[in-house]
Amino acid sequence: MKRKTILFISILQLLVITGCYDDLGNYDYTNSTKVSFVNSASSDYTFMVGDLFEMDAPINFSTDIGNVDELFTVQWYLNRELIYTGYHLKYQFEKGGTYELILKVINKETNETYISNKYTLTGKNSFDWGWMILSNKGDGKSSLSFINPGLRATHDVENIIEDGLGTDPLGIYYYYVLGSISGSYVSGLPKILINQGSGSVTLDGNSLQKDMWLAHEFENRKEPEGLKIMDFAFKEEYYVICSEQGEVYIRAVGTDNKAIPYYGKYGVMPYEFEGGSRITCFAPFHNVTYWCADEERCILYDEQNARFIGITHYPQWGAVYTPAIVYFKTYDQDLEVPSGVLRVNNMGAGTHCLAIGAYEKKDVASNGGLTFWSNYVSLIDVQGTGNYDLHEFAVKDMDNNSHLITGTDQYGFSGSSLLTPQSVIKMSSNFEKNPYFYFTDGDKNLYIYSMQMRSHMLAYTAGSRITGISGSPVVCEFYGYGGNSTDPNFRLALSQENGDIAIIDVNTSQMVRLFEGFAPDLELKTFSGFGDVKGMVWCTNYEGEY
């Protein structure tokens, strides 16, 4: 009986083993692979708007497998919407911004399901660097266009902005925020400020999506009524808005502000300068792509008191990052002011300032150390008489609230007879690097003035009245960022009344030929279809440009 039992068990085991072999022949047992995901905290991804974005799913498998799609279903959810199925994503993003990505992976045999943590996808606009143009094309809407260094124009850029841009365009400004973003340090986050009647707004320079309403940057969360910006200065420590009404709003960076990218708030009321003020000219000197002479950081002309005022980046009253106001009251006791030269803090009643530029000066010490200071140049209408002079003054540090005037000069401007109330004037932010400035006769003609020769030449005649001048970088020594190429440097964009924009070449060799009397052809290309141009600004979407 015992032998029969053992024989029966042996036969049964043999049948089981045989059945298993038959089963292996009928079914594939290779798919026991487990799935895990790449750490989402250190795996954010960036794409360019309009380009085909491709990437493999950030998945790890416990065993080597061949074709993932044969064994698993990989689903891609963007902001909770299924956009693609497959291991290798191919997708074209139409709008920039930040997206939430979740992956769902399903084992096709066992239906075992794996869901990832959230990944971040960031969409950058495809406009690396060039001129951003704000205009009204006749419908009252704020329209954005772009011209890149390759001389290709793109219109209707505002269409990529969610819910549109706005109406009643007034002006456009570029800046960057010093600081960092989550998981990555960068020295600058690019921003575009759009001044418009429907509500001024800051755009993220990468995605060109709305970042923050300007109203929310004021302490009372209200934009000043009827705000029309004359110019805008950005600094490591503060931001300054100067309005066409001559009012100045300062947003200081306090020591307790850690949030990136916005620091502090603009005051509700305009800044009150000593003795009151009415600012009619404002030079920010903020774009170091130009290697600015920016010791004072920005210079203002107060026509009410006929004086220049500086806003510096130095500490004041022991508060780090608080900007100091400089009234330029003190002259070097050894300085002999030439007869007829107006004093910086008393330019004479009625004197108008039309433009401000600067030299960057430096001393080399015996130990090789460098000392920098600024020499400012302004084009003035002397006491409102219609006599135009160039006025210069050199400044060296003295203390936080005042600076020592170490030199001053004043001389006639050769282009005086050409200036009209409609003239557009663009001075260099560093005459050491680019010793020229540009002005129009209030009509079609662009003239270039040489600081060295103290004379001007007719450089270009446009198709209609020139309404704006915007320069590309003079020089940038930060290789790999927006201004590293020499090709697009020393160019001017000229907006015109007929909706055209001309790009002209004003590099050094062309200027030498111009002032030698050869009349070179400076035009590179003219674009049309911009409508009523409200502003142009050179900008880039590179993080950490400066």
**Residue entry with tokens 């309009």:** 50
- pLDDT tens string 364-381: 777 777 767 788 999 999
Output the pLDDT for position 182.
Answer: 46
What is the band of 362 on the pLDDT scale with cuts at 50, 70, 90? confident
Q: Where in the chain is the domain with CATH 2.60.40.10?
A: 33-122
Q: Are 210 and 200 in contact (CB under 8 A)?
A: no
Higher pLDDT, 1 or 385: 385
Say if residue 452 is exposed, middle or buried (CB neighbours under 10 Å; 0-12, 13-18, 19+).
exposed
pLDDT surpassing 50 at residue 49: yes
Order the strands of the 143-147 sheet from edge to edge: 153-154, 143-147, 129-136, 532-540
pLDDT surpassing 80 at residue 259: no
Give ∠ CA 359-361-366 in degrees, rounded to 5.
Answer: 170
Higher pLDDT, 322 or 207: 207
Q: Are 523 and 461 in contact (CB under 8 A)?
A: no
Output the pLDDT for position 86.
Answer: 95
The proportion of the chain whose per-residue pLDDT surpasses 90, expressed as a percent, equals 52
Output the pLDDT for position 308.
Answer: 96
Output the pLDDT for position 254.
Answer: 57
pLDDT surpassing 50 at residue 13: no
Return the H-helix or E-strand segment holding 69. helix 68-71
Mean pLDDT value of segment 223-244:
89
Output the pLDDT for position 289.
Answer: 43
CATH topology of domain 127-538: Methylamine Dehydrogenase; Chain H (2.130.10)
pLDDT surpassing 60 at residue 255: no
Higher pLDDT, 540 or 275: 275
Q: Which of 465, 477, 541, 539 has the alpha carbon at shortest distance from 502?
A: 465
pLDDT surpassing 50 at residue 70: yes
- Measured distance CA(99)–CA(123) in Å, rounded: 8
Q: Where in the chain is the domain with CATH 2.130.10.10?
A: 127-538
What is the band of 39 on the pLDDT scale with cuts at 50, 70, 90? confident
Non-local (6+) Cβ contacts of 496 within 8 A are 462, 463, 464, 465, 466, 467, 502, 533
CA 5 from centre of chain: 89
Q: What is the mean pLDDT of the chain?
A: 82
Mean pLDDT value of segment 9-26:
41
**Residue entry with tokens 């005459």:** 431
What is the band of 290 on the pLDDT scale with cuts at 50, 70, 90? very low
Mean pLDDT value of segment 15-36:
52
Q: What is the DSSP secondary structure assignment for residue 319, as one 8-state letter?
A: B
Non-local (6+) Cβ contacts of 183 within 8 A are 41, 42, 44
Output the pLDDT for position 542.
Answer: 58
Please name every residue paired with 131 in a beta bridge, in sequence order, or none if there are none.
Answer: 147, 538
CATH of 33-122, one of 3.90.226.10, 2.60.40.10, 3.90.1300.10, 3.40.640.10: 2.60.40.10
Q: Are 53 and 123 in contact (CB under 8 A)?
A: no
pLDDT surpassing 50 at residue 544: no
- pLDDT tens string 167-226: 999 999 988 765 544 444 445 577 899 999 999 999 988 778 898 899 999 999 999 999
Output the pLDDT for position 178.
Answer: 57
Widest distance between CA atoms in the chain: 136
Give ∠ CA 328-331-334 in degrees, rounded to 5.
Answer: 165
Output the pLDDT for position 26.
Answer: 38
Q: Which of 171, 167, 173, 95 has the alpha carbon at shortest distance from 137?
A: 167
Sign of torsion, CA 41 42 45 46? positive
Say if residue 402 is exposed, middle or buried (CB neighbours under 10 Å; 0-12, 13-18, 19+).
middle
pLDDT surpassing 60 at residue 107: yes
Higher pLDDT, 51 or 153: 153
Q: Which of 193, 188, 165, 162 has the alpha carbon at shortest distance from 177?
A: 188
Residue type, 195: N
- Measured distance CA(13)–CA(15) in Å, rounded: 5
Q: What is the DSSP secondary structure assignment for residue 472, as one 8-state letter?
A: P
Higher pLDDT, 256 or 351: 351
Output the pLDDT for position 111.
Answer: 92
> What tokens does 14 get?
């043999």
CA 399 from centre of chain: 31
